[in-house]
Amino acid sequence: MNYKIVRLNTAAKTDIEYAVLIIYTGGTLGMAYDEQGALVPFNFGKILEKIPNLNSLNISITVISFPEPIDSSNINLQHWVDMAYIIYENYDTYDGFVVLHGTDTMAYSASMLSYMLAGLNKPVIFTGAQLPISAMRSDARENLMTALEIAISKANGKPVVPEVCIFFNHMLLRGNRAKKVQSVHFDAFESENYPALAESGIVIDYNYASIRPYEEGKKLKYLNRLDNNVMVLKLFPGITKNVVQHCLQINGLKGIVLETYGSGNSPSEDWFIQSMEEAVDKGLLIFNVSQCNGGRVIQGRYQTSKDLKRVGVLSGGDMTTEAAITKMMFILANESDETEIKRKMMTPLAGEMSVLSH
């Protein structure tokens, strides 16, 4: 991919203390209104005109843009591979990384990069905006400025937040715990099953107990194999046997994230449980997550989920759908042993789930 690279002169060379790489993929933050009032991609070489306060941060900023900014609804596996590769290739040069990304699939991308960048010891902060940077009430300036500050924050010479996160509307969330919940308000993201890592106000108040600790000597690994022969099957009252069985029999399908009710419950009709059992017996990976925002699967709590456990459906615990489907793509591409695939799906790789009790 032919990336566009812009280096911003944000401070006198003698004042520069940190270096940050911004990866611009697209999204509302990087848009501006043209003379006809239409939204068009913004020229990041002129970002200091929009956010002059960047000069006060004493950061050397480099922007790498995708050749063509993409709507986050069009994000695919290759884009994830590209994002992870840019970070891997530039890892030793920069103190931290900020990824500018559309909000619609930001939680998916942050989740996937948390798996692909094994051994990460530097901040990778995803952010974006609900209004373009040129809008009078835009949230873009605050989100970008604070994301940059978090990306360079250190304590005792070590990064404060050495993991993949989302910063949005004053809140720093673990990337693979976040979910988009708003499309018309600034508080677009929540993390119901894991505490916020920080909250910005007059100062940035870090929740150190919840941040993944810095690991001395850890080396970054770039794991770029992904498998998208997976799907999400969301249950609803009245779902038919025909629909379920057609999904289970899709040619080449390797895994399903099953969105169930409440704490992991599903229909208890014989046809449904039998369909699940037959699919598992044929080698299909089925992973149970809750439809609830803040839900937690506890298979066996009710009879309706006890049957799922009995036939081999795996519990996703308190994982989000975004973290679960991306983890499935990642695990299926990097493991071939069925037992190991199941073990890793139910074991935290990057803080995406709580440890399951058996």
Q: Could you say which DSSP state residue 265 is in? A: B
Contact 88, 120 (CB under 8 A): no
What per-residue string of b and e applies to 129-144 under the rule 16 or more CB within 10 Å gives b? bbebbebeebbbbbbb
Buried b (16+ CB within 10 A) or exposed e, 313-349: bbbbbbbbbbbbbbbbbbbbbbbeeeeebbebbbeeb
Catalytic residue among 10, 28, 103, 127: 103
Pairing of β 117-118 and β 221-222: antiparallel
Tokens 């042993």, located at residue: 337
Alpha helices for 219-334 (secondary structure H): 241-248, 270-281, 303-310, 321-334
Does 105 qualify as catalytic in the annotation?
A: no
Q: Are 19 and 95 in contact (CB under 8 A)?
A: yes
Q: How crowded is residue 211: how many other Cβ atoms within 10 Å of its Cβ?
A: 20
162 close to 117: Cβ distance less than 8 angstroms: no
DSSP classification of residue 261 = B
CA distances from 23 to 63, 125, 266, 339 (A): 6, 10, 41, 37
Q: Which residues are catalytic?
A: 103
